Amino acid sequence: MTASSPESRLAHFPVAFFAMVMGLSGLAIAWHNAEVGFDLPWHISAGLLLVAATAFVVLLLLFTTKLLRHPAAVRQELAHPVQLNFFPTISISLILLGIATLPYWPMAAKILWLLGASLHLIFTLYVLGVWIHQDQFEIHHINPAWFIPVVGNVLVPIAGVPLGFAEPSWLFFSVGILFWLVLFTIIFYRILFHHPLPERLMPTFFILIAPPAVGFIAYTQLTGNLDPFARLLYYSGLFLTLLLATQVGRFARLPFFLSWWAYSFPLAAITIATLTMYDQTGATGFILLSWLLLAVVSVVVAYLFVRTAVAVFHRQVCVPAV
């Protein structure tokens, strides 16, 4: 079996591919909020939701086939200190699809939310169990992708509250905020006092934006208020966005990796958070900022989609890591 054969490429199909669904779903939610908030006559969000759902089905079929034909490769990913943290992108994709579906089809959204939240709880407990009992992880293994398993819990209330699951939503939110603070401290310690992240993982810096941005959206759903803690979450996410924007030259020089999809969902999250700030305050400045961020994330996701398609066509993904 050669490295370029279909079976070999399937064996190297990365679970991190589901980050694409996160980016597409996040963009769909952002556009829907803009369409509602600004009373736009467009239906861009519905088309994006269809693309995201199709991508999820295709990726799930491919990964399920990999699980059946190459279970050892999946077990190897589950034991890897970095790849392990991308398995919850599957459950997060379900939750995001549920959020995006809620305005159109509440019953389907409820099913997606229940599946996603349940699976994410399982992933959270599993990953935390691995972290607690591991004997091989070192400080250089940690990177912002470690946020995904535990901090992804803060997404749950966004659809959970409207669907009538207030108390479970508080549970998930509490877990996400707790581990956001813990991991944020550890990750900044690693960044400041140890070797820089490898190029392949540099895009994961953008994941730093997601916890406070999503936390803000979830908190306003849970409380219905724009209180000081909500503002703290939003402006923390906005500052991190500005900080990373000043580093755009460094990111632009990176070669293409599948990890580039780490740019997409965090940018969508801060866009949705800004649209929520406009909805809560009515301040004109948030209109301008919302449109700017919406334009940026739309261009980024479109570019990532094309670059990924080109990489797949040229067999530059689903190959052994070098």
List the one residue out of 182, 199, 178 whose CA is nearest residue 254.
199
pLDDT tens digits for range 237-257: 999 999 999 999 999 899 988
Positive or negative: CA dihedral 138, 143, 145, 151: positive
Domain ranges of the chain: 6-313
Is the CB of residue 85 less than 8 Å from the CB of residue 127? yes
Token couple for 184:
């944020």
pLDDT tens digits for range 289-311: 999 999 999 999 999 999 999 98
pLDDT tens digits for range 120-161: 999 999 999 988 887 778 888 888 999 999 889 999 999 999
Distance between CA atoms of 319 and 150, rounded to whole angstroms? 28
Looking at the predicted structure, is the pLDDT value of residue 1 above 80?
no
How many CB atoms neighbour CB 148 within 10 A? 26
pLDDT tens digits for range 260-284: 999 999 999 999 999 999 999 999 9
Host H or E run for residue 142: none
Distance between CA atoms of 178 and 311, rounded to whole angstroms? 38
Q: Which residues contact 118 (CB under 8 A, 6 or more apart)?
A: none
Q: Which residues contact 182 (CB under 8 A, 6 or more apart)?
A: none
**Around 144, how many Cα atoms within 13 Å sit in the side-chain half-sphere?**
22
What are the C-alpha distances in Å from 164 to residues 106, 113, 167?
Answer: 12, 12, 9
Token couple for 21:
């669904």
CATH code for 6-313?
Answer: 1.50.10.150
Token couple for 143:
């990177």
- Amino acid identity of residue 240, one-letter, is L
pTM of the model: 0.94
Q: Which residues contact 277 (CB under 8 A, 6 or more apart)?
A: 226, 234, 283, 286
pLDDT tens digits for range 8-44: 788 889 999 999 999 999 999 999 999 999 999 888 9
pLDDT of res. 8: 73
